[in-house]
Amino acid sequence: MAPSTSGAFSRRALLGSAGAGLVAGAAGTYASEPAAAARSAGLGAGQVDFHGPHQAGILTPQQARIQLAAFDLLPGLAPAAGRAGLQALLKRWTATIARLTAGEPADRNENQIALDAGPCSLTVTVGFGASLFERTGMQAARPAALAPLPEFPADALDPARSDGDLWLQVCADDALVAFHALRVLQQQAVGTAAPRWQSAGFSRTPGATAQPRTGRNLMGQIDGTNNPKPADADFAARIFSTGPGWLAGGSYLVFRRITMLLDDWENLPTDRQERVIGRRKSDGAPLSGGTETTPVDLARSNPDGTLAIPADAHIRVAAPAANSGAAMLRRGYSYADGVRADGSPDAGLLFLAFQADPARGFVPVQRKLSRGDGLSKFLRHEASGLYAVPPGVPAGGTGYLGQALLEG
């Protein structure tokens, strides 16, 4: 990465040499326990390579903080002007993201918010909403899989906090670093695209537990045990798209802002909460027995003849075996935005799931959950989005995000 032409010190250099060069969770891998331990020992120095076949922020080990945002191209632009503006913006964003993830200052709109921080495992992931293709005259290039998600029972979606032409996922192990990156990119979009919605979330900070563990959500449940793993033989087929050509090696991202009705949930005794989920709250083990990683035995019965995993338990209804093998790579974050007018917490889950085809991943699973999941009465889906996430940018060239779409 070229040094800043302004002569400013790099954010990474200001850390000194003690942690320089530490790489945590390079795109395309999950962190091993030693890597996770190293990352927690020097969070500021953690660096994720921007370049690669897939965008960082998909396979990257989950960071502690997230900033999500969607943008709309400015109204009134003719399709050709919209497309030209989009191309220029994506070139700017690509160059800026590469600098920021390497711990360097932005070359435009740098605001010094994170000047004394390292890269902190920063990643920025970019996606395209269905509306982008019409606004830029590229309807023929819009993938069929980017069709609007169907309506689900009990959805209470706010259009102002849903969808959007462009989508950004900004993750880092430091809140200031994540906000800084989003603010810079937002400023660079002025004159081309305007913010539509924005949301911030958090996860467990690396090193907060004695050893790496699956995170918990705001219901206190271990969440993410059954995520597909890159070592799975069919992982790539489930997560990455094979076409159209400009999207090969990319993915689809489903976003849902899900409010948790925590007052109602916390009034349940622990054993009832466990039956709703199908797992022990203490260690995440399925009620059919074993440890957190023990395969769920959906056929097992209790001594009294009742199902060990209740018929409406979340893990039974959502199980791939119960949904024709449907699977997604979930990468959700918790959020807490104060209290609502009735005094209840405005808190829950920023659900994020990458998949090769939403029609074979999210849609059938959510249909089934909305009809028979015991957890549904404690959740409210309030915002939604579906985005095509283009492949990554190879190193050593002048490529940019979305190049195959815009120049194909």
Closest C-alpha among 208, 222, 225 to residue 39: 208
**Quick one: residue 251, left, alpha or beta (phi over 0 = left, psi -120 to 50 = alpha)?**
beta
Rounded to the nearest angstrom, the gap between the alpha carbon of residue 45 and the centroid of all alpha carbons in its chain is: 22
Closest C-alpha among 23, 183, 54 to residue 127: 54
Q: 370: which 2 tokens?
A: 């909305």
Question: Where does 214-269 have alpha helices with state H?
Answer: 235-239, 262-266
Classify residue 30 by burial, with Cβ atoms within 10 Å: 0-12, 13-18, 19+: middle
* Catalytic residue, candidates 165, 223, 357, 373: 223
CB environment 155-194: b (16+ within 10 A), e (fewer): bebeeebbbbbbbbbbbbbbbebbbbbbbbbbebbeebbe
Q: 77: which 2 tokens?
A: 């632009």
* Active site annotation includes 223: yes
CB 122 within 8 A of CB 26: no
Closest C-alpha among 81, 42, 183, 202 to residue 124: 183
Rounded to the nearest angstrom, the gap between the alpha carbon of residue 12 and the centroid of all alpha carbons in its chain is: 25
Active site residues: 223
